[in-house]
Amino acid sequence: MLYYLFHYLRAHYNLPGANVFNYISFRAALAVIISLLISMVFGKKLIRLLHKKQVGESIRDLGLTGQKEKEGTPTMGGLIILASILIPTLLLARLENVYVLLMLAVTIWLGTVGFLDDYIKVFKKDKKGLSGGFKVFGQVGIGLIVGCTLYFNSNVVVKEKNSQCTSNHYWRTGSRDQ
C-alpha cells in the first residue's frame, strides 16, 4: 500500500524522495525492519496474553525427562510469524505481482491450517489436533493451486535455454553478434 501511496504522491505532487519506494532493495530493507519490530514488540505481548489466558498445550505423560516443563507453553505462536510476514508484504510489496499474490495465498492458507490444528488442540482439548489427512490435503491443495498458477498464468516468467548456443556462433563467425 505504501508503494502505491508514494507512487501517487510522486506522480501528482512531485514529492521529493518518494521515488525511493521504486527500489526493491529499499522496500526489502524496510520490510525486514518492520518485520523485526512486529515480532519483537507484539510477539512478547501476544505470548504474555496467551500465557495469561492459559492458551497452552497439554502434555501426555510419556515418562520422559523434562516433558512436564513444556506443559502450559503457549501455542499459536504462528500468529506472530504470520503478522511479521503479511503486514510488511501488504505495506510494501507491489500487489499486482503474481509471485507476491502466490506467496500471500500460500502463507494465509498454511497459516489457517496451522491455526485450525492449534485451535483443535487447545480449545477442543483434542491432543491430536487436526488429522493428518486434512493437513496433507491442505498442503497438496495449495501445491496444486500454485503449480497450476505457475503453469497457466501468462505473467510467470520462465527462462528457457536457447537452442542455438552462442558460444558455437562465436567460434564459427568470430563475432559475438547474432
Q: Please report the pLDDT score of residue 47 as a whole number.
A: 81
Distance CA 83, CA 32 (A): 13
72-109 pLDDT, tens digit each: 666 677 889 999 999 999 999 999 999 999 999 999 99
| Residue 111, in any domain of the structure | yes
pTM (predicted TM-score): 0.75
Classify residue 83 as exposed, middle or buried by CB count within 10 Å of its CB (0-12, 13-18, 19+): middle
Q: Which distant-in-sequence residues (6+ apart) come within 8 Å of 147 by Cβ? A: none
Distance CA 142, CA 110 (A): 8
**Plot region of 76 (φ>0 → left; ψ -120 to 50 → alpha; else → beta):** left
Q: Are residues 109 and 168 part of one domain?
A: yes
Distance CA 97, CA 159 (A): 17
Q: Please report the pLDDT score of residue 126 as a whole number.
A: 78
168 pLDDT band (50/70/90 cuts)? low
Q: What is the mean pLDDT of the chain?
A: 83
Distance CA 3, CA 97 (A): 13
Task: For residue 155, give the 3-state DSSP assignment.
Answer: coil
12-62 pLDDT, tens digit each: 998 888 889 889 999 999 999 999 999 999 988 888 887 777 666 666 566
Report DSSP state, residue 135.
Answer: H
Taking the mean position of all CA atoms in its chain, how far away is CA 144?
18
Phi, psi (degrees; rounded to nearest 5) at 155: -85, -5
Number of domains, the chain: 2
Structural domain range at position 87: 1-58+69-95
Q: Are residues 100 and 87 part of one domain?
A: no
Q: Are residues 90 and 48 part of one domain?
A: yes
| Residue 143, in any domain of the structure | yes
Q: Are residues 145 and 87 part of one domain?
A: no
Taking the mean position of all CA atoms in its chain, how far away is CA 36?
14
Q: Are residues 166 and 114 part of one domain?
A: yes
Distance CA 62, CA 41 (A): 36
